[in-house]
Amino acid sequence: MVYTLIRALAQFTLRVLCRLQVAGREHVPERGALILAANHVSNVDPVVVACAIRRKLHFMAKAELFRNPAFGWFLRQLQAFPVSRGQVSPSTLRRSLALLQEGHALVVFPEGTRGDGANLQRAIGGAGMLAVRSGCPVVPMYHEGTAEVLPRGGRFPRPAAVRVWIGPPIVFRREVAERPEPYEALSQQIMEAIAGLRARAKPPRVAGARSESPSP
C-alpha cells in the first residue's frame, strides 16, 4: 500500500516537474524473476527507476539509511533492504537470490556507487554474480537528468528534464556460469549494454542528426 501510494505521487511529480519520458517499456517482462540494471548518478535514481517501470521493484539501499528506525521502516515499505556499501555480503546475496527465486524484480546499480553523470564507471562484480547465480534475465536501463534533479551534495530536488531508455533483456547462458570468468567481466557486459543505450541517447554530433527521444 505504501509503495503504491508513494510511487503514484512520485510519478505525478516527475511527469509535471521533470517531464519524465520513457522508451523501451516493452522490453520489461510483465512477470517472472528479473534484474533491472541502471546507471547511477544521484540519490533520486531509485525513484526514477521505480516510476519508469510498471512492475513493483525491490531495491538495495546502503545500511546507514536504516540506522533511524522510523526511516528504516519507511524504506522497507518501499521494498528496500540494507546492504553494506562496496561489498556483496553473504546475507545480501542470499536475500537477493531469494527474491529472484520467488519471481520478483530486483534493481541493481552495476557501478556500485554514484558517478559524476558525465561518464559511466566500470562495473563491480555484484550484478554479474546475481545474473549468473539466478539465471534470470537482466534488463539494462540508461537514464539522464537525475544529476540535475538532485546533484551530489544537494538537499532538495529541483525541476529538470528526466529521460529513460530501456533495452532488451540479457541472459547469460549456462555455460557462462561454468567458466572461471570473473564476475566483474560479466557485470561489465551489462554496463556495455547500458553504454549502448547511452549512445542512442547521445549520438555523435553530425549535421542534421538527432538523438532518439523517449515517449511520455
**CATH assignment of the domain containing 84:** 3.40.1130.10
3-state secondary structure of 117: coil
Can you give the pLDDT at residue 8? Answer: 95
Domain count, the chain: 1
Flag whether 206 is in a domain. Answer: no
Q: In this predicted structure, what is the pLDDT of residue 113? A: 79
Structural domain that includes position 64: 2-201
The reply to whether 76 falls in a domain is yes
Instruction: Please name the helix (run of DSSP H) or strand (run of DSSP E) that holds residue 211, with its range, or none.
Output: none
Domain presence at residue 210: no
Whether the Cβ atoms of residue 60 and residue 81 lie closer than 8 Å to each other: yes
**Could you tell me the strand order of the sheet in which 57-62 lies?**
21-23, 163-166, 138-144, 34-38, 105-108, 57-62, 80-83
Q: What is the pLDDT of residue 180?
A: 47
Vertex 210: Cα angle to 123 and 28 (nearest 5): 45
Question: Chunked in runs of 10, what are the mean pLDDT values of the chain (216 residues)?
Answer: 92 95 95 95 94 94 90 93 75 92 95 80 86 93 95 88 96 61 85 93 59 62
The answer to whether residue 23 is domain-embedded is: yes
Q: Has residue 27 been placed in a domain?
A: yes
Angle of helix 2-17 relative to helix 45-52, nearest 10 degrees, comes to: 100
SS3 annotation, 122-188:
CCCCHHHHHHHHHCCCEEEEEEECHHHHCCCCCCCCCCCCCEEEECCCECCCHHHHHCCCCHHHHHH
34, part of any domain:
yes
Question: For residue 190, which of 60, 36, 49, 45 has the smallest C-alpha distance?
Answer: 36
pTM: 0.87
| Residue 216 covered by a domain | no
* Within a domain: 192: yes
Burial 151-170, CB ≥16 within 10 A → b, else e: beeeeebeebebbbbbbebb
* All three cell numbers of 22: 520513457
